[in-house]
Chain A
Amino acid sequence: MKISDLLHMSMSSLFKRKLRTILTVLGVVIGIASIVIMVSLGLGLNQQQMNMIEQYGGLKTITVTEGSSSGGNGSGDSSSSTDLSKKLTDDTVNLIKSMDHAAIVSPVLDFDMIIRTGAYTYQGYGANGYTLEALEDMKWKFSEGELPKEGDPLKFIYGNLILQEFNDASGDAVYYSTGEVPDIDLMKDPLFVIFDTEAYMSTQNPQDESPFDAGTVDDGSGGTAEPKTPPKKYIIPTAGVLYGDGPEDYKDYSYGVYCDIEPLIAQLKKVYRGKAIPGQPTKKNGQPYKELYYSSIYVKADDVENVKDLQTQIQNLGYEASSNTEWIEQTKKTSEQQQAMLGGIGAVALLVAAIGIANTMMMSIYERTKEIGIMKVLGCDLGDIRSLFLIEAALIGMIGGVVGDLLSLSVSCIINSVTGEKTSLIPVWLYLIGLGFAVFVGVAAGFFPSKRAMELSPLSAIKNE
């Protein structure tokens, strides 16, 4: 028989038993829709978690710190470490740059500083210098200002919640006691930055008479070793303030201060002329090395898949490298488990639907025993008889799959509009799998009934009743 004839006959026999067909299809619809929706919830959840990881430092970033062979590197400011082989230098940066899959490699220099403006003080920790390339790649949104440009003098970029960290004269954080951030315009107000925090502390603490005096700012010679003399202050302009949606919008940059590493190094060298920059290792006599050692190296892989590989390569060189891979893998594992569980619930529904199809097909075959017999007497090929019933079952599955997909789509839209975010995520492949699965279930459920139809005796047709 021709395929078109087979299709036509199968469809007309489905159409003839409309109600039964509709009910059977309904079973498949519910089965497929529950699988697709359940998996979509799992996918949505996974996506949300990935977005969260992305927010907390990215999926592709690797942070490289110096090797542990020197010991005691944990705090990062051990200045007397003498093993320099695993320290991070420009050579290290270039070495990592030459590796496969390393898209962006930027040295990172952490530095301490204190900012004073008006009556407020900010005691910074973890201010970081990156290369411009890395800063650009962060794809930050600014609420004011923009990234510094190549060749600009040192400019700072502030996180959106930085003002919460400014203390008043008595040393209390304004925000945490009053709930309001200090009235500081980071873009316009002059911000006096003290790099030599150690010297500043020693002048501050013993005698607690507000020594701050904006008038003493000068660009004169470097700070002396005289402990009572306050260190010099520099006015560092603000390049921009990063965007945040209200005081609750925490991002990994929210409390940070960032800048271009090149002017930073120049500035630090100027500030600590003839002395060791804090955090840098020193020779036995207290003199700094000629080379600059970075706090860490920021590496970005070209693809999430390659993070692990790149991380291992770097670790093999003897450096410490950490990334979110473990976290991501853990998340993936969890979400896979969730999906399997959710999908399993849907699969039960589909199993019931499959039994429904098989039942319908068996009924249909019993009803049509005579018809099948006649067809055999008239010379219908056995394979064609089997095909007829298989096509019928597959059609039930296919219609159920299509309607089930449509149902999933609308349910997914409803879920997302109710929750207001992408809780349910249905990629195209999920629709295709849903449909394919429905057809497969139909064919599988129709297999034994169709075999049975094929084996029916033609004699039953010519029994005279």
Chain B
Amino acid sequence: MKGCKTTMSDSVISVKQLYKIFLLGKEKVRALNGVSFDIEKGQFVAIVGTSGSGKSTLLNMLAGLEAPTKGTIRIAGENIEHYNERQLVKFRRNHVGFIFQSYNLMPTLDAVENVALPLTFRGMDKTIRERKALKALKLVGLQKYIKHRPTEMSGGQQQRVGIARALVLEPEIIFADEPTGNLDSVTTEEILKLMQDVVRKNKTTLVMVTHDNYLASFADRIIRIKDGKIINDEKREQFEKNE
């Protein structure tokens, strides 16, 4: 499931001059005001900003949930800025995994079924997808909870299911929106370490949005956003030196 067309560089995400302008009455609100960056394959990137900075809008556009007003987004070799909804759904199904703040597990399904859900959407056979789901659950350390429903699990366990669900697709990119926002500090650390660990092992690109600098410090690279513009973009070596 690697990018159909290989890009010239090694970047799996390439954003150029991205604008998103909302109209609030007659007033124009620039949520994103000309953002450009590239993300290499296998990188763990944190997008950091306060609320209202435009970081969530950026993530939504990268994931193909919102259309940009202007600019190009090239992900896994596909220019998605002009995709219609059908194409976007297909694009997500084939290339992208998601980790949500509020886990967003299906309450009626147990852990295995939840993890296997994206595979179900791909039309995969039940036996194959459950085998893959079990493998993913094992990877996040939940082999004992495979038959539990979301309501029977703690927040940390639920988020592990969420991570397993994102991993099971073996996607090129995983997007995470405040993945530990609802968790206590101990669990937060566990989860972040797990994510860090897993993406390194699988060489998956991970883009995480957060407002917390400490959480961002787990990433390989931090992009800081303020008022719709990138104000800082540094690699791990740099920001570790700064501290």
Residues of A within 8 A of B (CB): 1-2, 4-5, 12-13, 16, 370-371, 374-382, 384, 458-459, 461-462, 464-465
Neighbouring A residues of B96 by C-beta, 8 Å: 379
Chain B interface, DSSP helix/strand/loop, else mixed? mixed
Tell which of B90, B92, B102 touches A377, judged by Cβ atoms closer than 8 Å.
B92
Name which residue of chain B comes closest to A384, CB basis.
B121
Question: Beyond A379-B92, A462-B101: 13 further Cβ-contacts under 8 Å?
Answer: A1-B120, A371-B106, A378-B121, A379-B93, A380-B121, A381-B89, A381-B90, A382-B85, A382-B89, A384-B121, A462-B65, A462-B98, A464-B101
Task: Please measure, in the bound complex, the distance between the C-alpha atom of A376 and the C-alpha atom of B66, giving whole angstroms.
Answer: 13
| Cα(A201)–Cα(B52), bound, Å | 121
- What A residues does B120 contact at CB under 8 A? 1-2, 5
Given A459-B65, A464-B178, A464-B181, A378 contacting B90 (CB threshold 8 A): no
- Are B65 and A1 in contact, with the CB atoms below 8 A? no
- CA distance in complex: A1, B129 (Å): 12
Q: Closest approach, in angstroms, between the C-beta of A395 and any C-beta of chain B?
A: 16
Which of A13, A374, A384, A465 counts the most chain B CB atoms within 10 A?
A374
CA distance A371 to B104 in the complex (A): 8
Bound-state Cα–Cα, A462 to B85, Å: 17
State the Cβ distance, B81 to closest chain A Cβ, in Å. 17
Q: Find the A residue at minimum CB distance from B86.
A: A382
Taking CB atoms, residues of chain A closer than 8 Å to B172 are: none
Q: List 15 A-B contacts (CB under 8 A).
A: A2-B123, A5-B123, A374-B106, A377-B104, A378-B121, A378-B165, A379-B89, A379-B92, A379-B94, A379-B96, A379-B121, A380-B93, A382-B85, A459-B66, A465-B102
Judging by beta carbons under 8 Å apart, are A379 and B118 in contact? yes
B60 touches A459 (CB 8 A): yes
| Minimum-distance CB pairs A-B, first 10 | A379-B93, A379-B92, A380-B121, A374-B104, A464-B101, A378-B118, A5-B120, A379-B121, A16-B108, A458-B65
Q: Tell me, in angstroms, the Cα distance from A13 to B106 when the chains sit together.
A: 11
Q: In the assembled complex, which residues on chain A have CB atoms less than 8 Å from the CB atom of B98? A: 377-378, 462
A382 to B125, CA, bound (A): 20
Chain B residue with the shortest CB-CB distance to A457 = B65
- Contact A378 B117, beta carbon cutoff 8 Å: yes
B23 to chain A, nearest CB (A): 17
Among the interface residues A2, A4, A384, A458, which one has the most CB atoms of the partner chain B within 10 A? A458
Q: Which residues of A contact B100 (CB under 8 A)?
A: 374, 461-462, 464
Interchain CB contact (< 8 A) of B177 among A2, A5, A12, A462: A462
Residues of chain A lying within 8 A (CB to CB) of residue B31: none
Measured between C-beta atoms, what is the minimum distance from A421 to chain B in Å? 51
